[in-house]
Amino acid sequence: MARSVSALGAFALLIALGTSAFPQAVPDPETDIVRLAGAIKPVVAKNGMVTTQDAIATRIGVTILEKGGNAVDAAVAVGFALAVTHPRAGNLGGGGFFVIWLAEKQQAVALDFREIAPAAINAKSFLDENGKPDISKATRTGLGVGVPGSVSGLATALEKFGSGKFTLEDLIAPAIKLARDGIPVESDLERSINFFQKTLLRWPSTAKIFAKDGAPLKQGDLLVQRDLANTLEAIAKNGPDAFYKGEIADKISLAVREAGGVMTSDDIAKYKTEILDVVRGNYRGYDILSMPPPSSGGALLVQLLNILEGFDFKGGPNAPHTLHLMVEAMKRAYADRAEFFGDPAFINVPLTRLTSKEYAAQLRAGINLAQTTPSSQIKAGLTPKKEGDNTTHFSVVDKDGNAVAATVTLNLNFGLGLVAEGTGVLLNNELDDFALAPGVPNAFGLVGGEANAPGPGKKPLSSMTPTILLKDGKVSLVTGSPGGSTIITTVLRVVSGVIDHKLNIADAVLLPRIHHQWMPDEVRAERAFERMMPPEQWIAFETYGHKVDFFRFNIGAANSILVTPEGITGVSDPRYLGTLAAGH
């Protein structure tokens, strides 16, 4: 079978603070999901839960909950900590989305702090001298850097929805200390720095932080980020204006321009976080709250669940017929993504229609229960390039039933890899998420059209899918994932595992993942499927006409929380090293 690279796979340590530890041995980077299935149990807590891709950040979030903070307070502290401890995705120089549930008010809100294209970006910015798309301009030069939104987003979340018990300075203080004193390089951090050293070491300002004597930092070294500590300290004392106006903004815009970009300090000064209505849906009695455009994630998740609601999955989550139905739904939803989705400030995304039960019924009627439908018969398009991995997701639930599903990103791992001199801030290459030309795939293989064309002040389309499910008005599930275009289908797999197959949160997260994004017309599956499903089941699946491409590594990192009668249960995705789910 053909193979392509997705996320760095590994193992997760699960510890419930205040409860007994759940020790595990660390296996090879390519985590054996088959061996772990059934072996990992959810962490259980009574008063709150934090699950992230980094153990240090998780403990910071739990400490805030223990001191009386709400889920938003904890999420803000985690967000700033991840900028220090998980630099390939956690960030100040990127952006992201929060979906928030406020239990007392019975209110759901979405925070959009997605990166924005500078004013000088236009439809021709990423074309070569012959008028052909040049993806390297978006991924390897300053042209791909969007105005960062993370600092504004985190500050806005605290101001609008925090408990009022903590100042911004309180919540940034742990991150400042970590950046100034340094963190030990181990597990996932060591592997990621080494794996992406070409991205990092080509920039002198970055190499002096992430390398020693010309070589990438390794286990036993200390990652010290004094400039980042100074930047965090300025934000803590003076608020987000310290980042968006003045010396820090000037240094960021200068670094972008010196790398071939067009960003100005004025572009940075104009940035504002948007507070939006969530995308809503309902699946088998559960209310779905997820992210609206400029993310396609929430709408596609609702559309997929609407389609699948008309089917029965008695055969189990890995049954050939179950997988066939999921793949056929995916193909149709991703075809709509390519045609309809973009920045809602510039185009009209027909959300009401796309998320309606009636439209889902039309799509469902077109699914052949015995045979796959070729993608070319759904919509015409070009064959995209390979997948990649980018973001990080974390989930928080507090004792009062408030919840945050948070996904933040630099786009590709470490973004552009460029640290703006004197700031410690790693810069994104998020403008790669635009459709550089209609039908041309981005670095994640996703095809887009005119709706997602680059332009001044526009936000590129995203697949991030931070999601909260409610049952009878109370939080049931909080989930999300990194993984580029596979984010939506990863979240779908977790939701379906919990609801359709009554799995606990660890077993739902451990389900082997399967993905189809319309183009290319192939099923992408984790390697665990090769051994988890007997040969006769694969033969049965292939009789539907599916072409399968097994990923070399695992897909996504769905750090998730499920509220049960036994308590708040959480799991950090065991596909990564150094992650932690913890409660109190």
Please identify every residue annotated as catalytic.
Answer: 391
In 3D, which of 391, 392, 368, 393 has the Cα closest to residue 378?
368
**Residue 163 to residue 398: CA distance in whole angstroms:** 11
Q: If you ran DSSP here, which 8-state letter would residue 501 be given?
A: S
**Residue 470 to residue 289: CA distance in whole angstroms:** 8
**Residue 168 to residue 360: CA distance in whole angstroms:** 44
**Residue 541 to residue 465: CA distance in whole angstroms:** 28
- What is residue 108's three-state secondary structure? strand
Residues 6+ apart with CB under 8 A from 246: none
Residues 6+ apart with CB under 8 A from 368: 328
Q: If you ran DSSP here, which 8-state letter would residue 512 be given?
A: P
Helix (H) or strand (E) holding 496: helix 487-499
**Residue 392 to residue 556: CA distance in whole angstroms:** 9
Give the end-to-end CA distance of the chain in Å, rounded to a whole number.
Answer: 45
**Residue 116 to residue 247: CA distance in whole angstroms:** 20
Using only C-alpha atoms, the chain has a radius of gyration, in whole angstroms, of 22
Backbone dihedral angles phi then psi of residue 555, each to the nearest 5 degrees:
-110, 125
- What is residue 193's three-state secondary structure? helix
Question: How far is CA 41 from each of CA 14, 91, 155, 474, rounded to the nearest angstrom?
Answer: 9, 30, 35, 23
Backbone dihedral angles phi then psi of residue 392, each to the nearest 5 degrees:
-140, 145
- Residue at 557: amino acid letter: A
**Residue 526 to residue 549: CA distance in whole angstroms:** 9
ω before 294 within 30° of 0 (cis)? yes
Write the Ramachandran bin of 294: left for phi over 0, alpha for psi from -120 to 50, otherwise beta: alpha
Q: If you ran DSSP here, which 8-state letter would residue 107 be given?
A: E
- What is residue 541's three-state secondary structure? helix
Q: SS3 letters for 284-318?
A: CCEEEEECCCCECHHHHHHHHHHHHCCCCCCCCCC
Other CB atoms within 10 A of residue 319 CB: 16
Residues 264/284, Cβ–Cβ less than 8 Å: no
Place of tokens 């292939």: 542
